Amino acid sequence: MTTINDVAQAAGVSPATVSRVFNGGRVTAERAERVRRAAAELGFAPNRVARSLRMQRSSVIGLIIPDIENLFFTALARGVEDAAQQTNLSVVLCNTDENVDKERRYLDIAVAEQMAGVVVAAASRSRTDLSALEGRRIPVVAVDRRLRGTEVDAVLVDNEEGSEAATAHLLAQGYRRIACITGPQGASTSEERLAGYRRALQDFLGDDPDAAPKDVDLLRDYTRHADFKVEGGRKAMADLLAAPQRPDAVFAANNLMAVGALQAVHDAGLEPPEIGVLSFGEVPWAPLVRPSLTTMQLPSYDLGWTAANLLLDRIAGKNDPLRTVVLRSSLQVRESTAGPTARGPRPAGRRQ
């Protein structure tokens, strides 16, 4: 019968290194590959069930996200998985649909299955409850969204800075009736992106004490909350376009709502950039459509990769002070925000 010592000798490493490879410890990719190759050649298959019983912890981490259909979270999940593969951990994906009750059931499963750790993009800043994980000392890293009243490592995007830059770009292009479609109330990303939008408007007015009378449109309430999904963005934009003074631009606080906003703009017989459209989050076809879509590009893969590596450190027993890593977005300027007077010829069949 092949033993762990046989694998260690064949791979040119210590038995402890072999153990770390199969128990989810930190090992370089090159050494892990040598160990796995030697194990395969010798027919060594560790008993995962017995190992889990000994460790009282599985070789699985949970990834709890709001919406796998959103390509932002798809890329984030890939970052988590690629990092987890470094140490031979598997990832179980849980989709909450922004539902706190559904999220709670997944958190209970993480405890019941004694997962090694959890990366979570919380459904609610204040209502997400991690106490069951904390009670079992299961490491947790928050990703993309802040948590209130819970002390865990976190990897975030600078939402306020990014949304402020996005709104400032629309202002610089000459738009004045700028709407903001943000996400559900209570989600930290919704609150932060709305705050950045408002700060940009306030800063613009504050530059000139006499600006308010001539830029009174900036003081109108063009904010709407939606559900971070396409249909929510479409309904919110349709409602904005029905206003007596409709907006001349919209900042959509995620990529799916931007798609819905574009649908509503087209349904109204309008085209960017006469109504500017800017998405907080990239979509694959943004550079390809005409007019091409201006976006704030988010480091979605890096968010997942960084969060998973923080989690791996905790699983390995590191007791460093809690960390919050903040990544930045970048503005990708395209045709959809060229300015309210930069309209090109309309496609045939559009209403004038």
Ordered DSSP codes for 133-173: HHHTT--EEEESS--SS---EEEEE-HHHHHHHHHHHHHHT
Angle at 184 between CA 62 and CA 94, to 5 degrees: 15
Say if CB 88 and CB 59 are below 8 A apart: yes
Cis before 272 (ω within 30): no
Count CB-CB contacts under 10 A for residue 333: 13
Distances (CA, A) of 13 to 23, 30, 35, 45, 148: 15, 11, 8, 17, 44
In the structure encoding, which two tokens stand for residue 271, read together? 């085209």
pLDDT in tens, the chain (352 residues): 677 778 888 999 887 787 777 765 677 878 888 888 888 888 776 654 344 434 556 789 999 999 998 999 999 999 999 999 888 889 999 999 989 999 999 999 999 998 999 999 998 877 889 988 988 899 999 999 988 877 899 999 999 999 999 999 999 999 999 999 999 988 889 999 999 999 999 999 875 545 544 565 666 789 999 999 999 999 999 999 999 999 999 999 999 999 999 999 999 999 999 999 999 998 888 888 889 999 999 999 999 999 999 999 999 888 889 999 999 999 999 999 999 886 544 444 333 3
Distances (CA, A) of 221 to 227, 327, 340: 19, 30, 19
pTM for this entry: 0.77
CA distance 171 to 200: 9
